[in-house]
Amino acid sequence: MKEQVLARAAALGFDLCRVTDARGPEHADAFRRWLAEGMHGGMAYLERTAERRLNPDLVLPGAQSILLLAISYHRSGSGGAEASEEGAEARGVVARYARHRDYHHVLGPPLSALREFVNELGGVGTRSLEYIDTGPILERDLAHRAGVGFIGKHTNLISRELGNWFFLGSILTTLQLEPDAAAVHRCGTCTRCLAACPTGAITEPFRLDARRCISYLTIEHRGSIPVELRPAIGDRIFGCDDCLAVCPWNRFAREGRLMREAYLPGFDRPSLVELLGMDEATFRVAFRGTPFERAKRRGLLRNVAVALGNTGDGRVLEALERAAGDPEPLVAEHARWAIERIQARGGKSGRSE
Ligand code: SF4
Ligand code: SF4
């Protein structure tokens, strides 16, 4: 039966499919400690679902196996964040995964198809649940145990076949399938990701303080970005790839089929001034069905204001002055900060030039 499931997963376009049993993850104590120290920031749902995350049987009573699926979003020839040329229009950097339509939408249908296949294969009484990043399970730990990849010092999963650029999906099922062998840690003496992190969010190997992580601050975090971290955010307006991009295991990255057609041209380096000028209706149309909906207009424009402040470029002051009067207080506050930062660094007002 396992061979049939693997064949079906490959036919549906999943890049890797591995199986583990439905025991709780091995890192339960470390996860509880991480929560107790508040390192999850405002992600209160992690606390609320902690016990279920540590016990798959509470999520699906009678669960026997968990399928872990990897889906590459690597694009051949795609670079990271090329620096803007001097004097060029200010542009922001978007995390690579977010340069595609929302992966929940893209990957939902093939994942449902695989879940239905598993249920049919198991016959009457077989129950399964599917998740793409949203389920109350610790997918990364389970994917390590299933051999999809190993958890790197940056705390993300690394595949020897896909590098760092992939999503994880999972299917919990009451069907018993033979588990695969766990992955082996392969960071060795490398510490590139720790050195590359602009905010020191990887406080030690295998330990991430989400409260300092730009991915968290620009996407999950709902409120004001701590002032002391704003300069280090640079021109990143949605997520951060720095720790992933420096990892030497990316030499094995390869394109996958499922995300290829979901790529959004023009999302690599969007114009910051154009973004800052968007009203609610424009935002909704421009970003419908994309990961940006998660941050909402208020979150994205907050990030854009920070990035503009970090340019030090007086030509963007006019746009920031308009945003300082935005009806959304979060946007207005970050725009005021940006104006002060540019003026403190000697940038002149665009209107006076
Ligand atoms: S995503 Fe960016 S800020 Fe977060 S840990 Fe990685 S390098 Fe640091
Ligand atoms: S950059 Fe080096 S230390 Fe960091 S996850 Fe990759 S291999 Fe491990």
**Mean pLDDT of successive 10-residue stretches along the chain, which has 353 residues:** 96 98 86 84 83 87 97 82 66 96 96 98 96 86 96 97 97 97 96 98 95 96 97 98 98 95 91 97 96 97 98 96 98 98 78 34
Q: Using CA atoms, how far apart are residues 50 and 66, in angstroms rounded to an integer?
A: 18
Is the torsion defined by CA of 31, 36, 38, 44 positive or negative? positive
Give the residue whose CA is nearest to atom 4 of ligand 2.
193
d(CA 331, CA 214): 18
Pocket of ligand 1 (CB under 6 A): 154, 196-199, 201-202, 208, 213-215, 240, 242-243
Q: Is any atom of ligand 2 closer than 6 Å to the C-beta of 192? A: yes
Nearest atom in ligand 1 to 196's CA: 7
Note the pLDDT of residue 133.
Answer: 82
Cα gap 83→160, rounded to integer Å: 29
Q: Please tell me if the CB atom of residue 247 comes closer than 6 angstroms to any atom of ligand 2.
A: yes
Looking at residue 163, its pLDDT comes to 97
**Which residue carries 């020839």 as its tokens?**
77
Q: Hey, whose CA ends up nearest to atom 2 of ligand 2?
A: 190
CATH tag for 271-353 (out of 1.10.3470, 1.25.10, 3.30.70, 2.60.40): 1.25.10
Q: Residue 5 and residue 190: Cα distance in Å, rounded? A: 36
Q: Which of 186, 190, 208 to mutate to test the pocket of ligand 2 (most atoms within 8 A of CB)?
A: 190
Token code pair at residue 167: 């999503």
Q: Where in the chain is the domain with CATH 1.25.10?
A: 271-353
Catalytic residue (one of 29, 57, 133, 242): 133
Of 283, 270, 278, the closest CA to residue 238 belongs to 270
| CATH entry 1.10.3470 includes domain 2-78+100-173 | no
Adjacent-strand bridge partners of 151: 157
Closest ligand 1 atom, CA of 155? 5
Distance (Å) of CA 188 to CA 148, 162, 196, 319: 18, 19, 17, 48
Cα(215) to ligand 1 centroid in Å equals 6
Let me know if 57 is a catalytic residue. Answer: no
> In the prediction, which pLDDT does 326 show?
97
Residue 188, Cβ density class (10 Å: 0-12 exposed, 13-18 middle, ≥19 buried): exposed
Q: Where are the beta strands (DSSP E) in 123-256?
A: 128-131, 150-151, 157-158, 166-173, 202-204, 207-208, 236-238
Ligand 2 centroid distance, CA of 250 (Å): 10
Pick from 199, 216, 218, 238 the residue to mutate for probing ligand 1's pocket: most ligand atoms within 8 Å of its CB. Answer: 199
Nearest CA to ligand 1 atom 1: 240
CATH 3.40.109 placement within the chain: 2-78+100-173
Residue 351's pLDDT is 37
